[in-house]
Amino acid sequence: MEELAINGGKPVRETKIYYGHQYIDQADVEAVSRVLVSEALTCGPKITELEEKLCSITGAKYAVAVSNGTAALHIACLAAGIGEGDEVITTPITFAASANCACYCGGKPVFADIDPKTYNIDPVEVEKKVTEHTKAVVAVDFTGQAVQLDELFSVCHKNGLLLIEDAAHSIGTKYKGRPIGSIADMTTFSFHPVKTVTGGEGGAVLTNSRELYEKLLLYRTHGITKNVSMMQNEIDGPWYYEMLDLGFNYRITDIQAALIISQLDKLSAFGRRRKEIVEKYNEAFREIPELFVQEEIPESDTIRHLYILRIRPEKLSVDRAGFFRAMEAENVCCNVHYIPVYFMPYYEKLGYQRGICPEAEKLYQEEMSLPLYYSLTDEDVDSVIHAVKKVVSAYRK
Ligand SMILES: *Cc1c(COP(=O)(O)O)cnc(C)c1O
């Protein structure tokens, strides 16, 4: 058996590899450069172009581009009318922003447990958490796999809730053949550099509702409108605008918009490569009894943002932390997505206790994210598989 690098053996690869990385090509550089020497760095034509492109890719009627995915979630909750005392159901296996967005509006996140096979929020658990105070569900397409939209819609419609889909991981994914972005009441994207498509920072909210769209536009820019038909007081002159509600400056720049547009031209190529890598990992790990491979619902045609390696600690003489460190010594640097949101001290102080979502907590104890990004070479992928097999063999019970 090969000596583990953590015990002094030779690592499977010489250079370190990380779980995610952006891919920027010459077309991206030129797209950004053209904006830099143009008239408008912000509030210009690239933002409209990005919004139109997001609509054409997803089939959504309206898109509002914003400064980041968190801002997108915030204005989505505002547009949904979340306020003091309202409850918003979400998953604990997500980035904190999916829950924080309810808090920003004075609302309360309520955590529903995940399906132990797909790791996405379980619609049955969502239904159990509905109360008279529930206003919305923020469902996260964790790793890029679509949530069970039909089942979630049925819970939402029965109880008069809005469905907000946090699609930070799932741009390009389809549910029953329909692109993510065109289905939920509102869908949010993030264009952070670890996500499939990047703008450095950036985000967007997509919707088919004119009413929600108009609210989203207001909240993006201070609650200010220049639309004469929306004005409430007398129009003083051509300079006149009105602030109708308390909004924010959540605008994106034309520089970022240009980068995202250029990246979206590569979305199919990004998706194809990510699928290939996921297939290689799945094939290699399916036959290893010490591992569990994430299951997919047949409705989701997934472009994966994250690849979760889940160990079965009962079959190994090492826990997740030990496995993670052994991988790191092999120069394969993983990450963990996610620490359950309610484990965070901020949420503990609000009174959230451990134990409320046992499947999510179990997943957290057993998972790590392997390298997955467009520019991984086949040799990189082979080295990751080699490292996983090496560590499993060394700790097999
Ligand atoms: C990245 C991410 C966000 C936040 O997006 P930002 O653009 O970083 O603000 C929200 N939800 C999920 C699930 C994410 O992965």
Domain at 26-264: CATH architecture: 3-Layer(aba) Sandwich (3.40)
Best of 70, 164, 337 for a ligand 1 pocket test (most atoms within 8 Å of beta carbon): 70
User: pLDDT, tens digit, for every residue of 124-177?
Assistant: 999 999 999 999 999 999 999 999 999 999 999 999 999 999 999 999 999 999
Q: How far apart are CA 181 and CA 59, in angstroms?
A: 7
User: In this model, does residue 276 exceed pLDDT 90?
Assistant: yes
User: pLDDT, tens digit, for every residue of 6-60?
Assistant: 999 999 999 999 999 999 999 999 999 999 999 999 999 999 999 999 999 999 9
Atom 2 of ligand 1, residue of closest alpha carbon: 168
User: Residue 114 corresponds to which tokens in the numbers above?
Assistant: 């995940």
CATH topology of domain 5-21+267-395: Aspartate Aminotransferase, domain 1 (3.90.1150)
Cβ-count burial 211-239 (b if 16+ within 10 Å, e if not): ebbebbbbbbbbbbbeeeeeeeeeeeeee
Tell me the percentage of the chain whose pLDDT exceeds 90.
99
Residue 94 Cα to ligand 1 midpoint, Å, equals 9
pLDDT at 164: 98
User: pLDDT, tens digit, for every residue of 342-366?
Assistant: 999 999 999 999 999 999 999 999 9
> What's the chain's average pLDDT?
97
Residue range(s) in the chain whose domain bears CATH number 3.90.1150.10? 5-21+267-395
pLDDT at 1: 80
Residue 198 three-state SS: coil
For residue 302 and ligand 1, the question of a CB distance below 6 A is answered with no
Closest of 1, 3, 4, 2 to residue 332, by C-alpha:
4
User: pLDDT, tens digit, for every residue of 49-64?
Assistant: 999 999 999 999 999 9
Residue range(s) in the chain whose domain bears CATH number 3.40.640.10? 26-264
User: pLDDT, tens digit, for every residue of 116-127?
Assistant: 999 999 999 999
For residue 69 and ligand 1, the question of a CB distance below 6 A is answered with yes
Count of other CB atoms within 10 angstroms of residue 127:
17
Which sign, positive or negative, has the C-alpha torsion 51, 157, 165, 96? Answer: positive
For residue 95 and ligand 1, the question of a CB distance below 6 A is answered with yes
For residue 70 and ligand 1, the question of a CB distance below 6 A is answered with yes
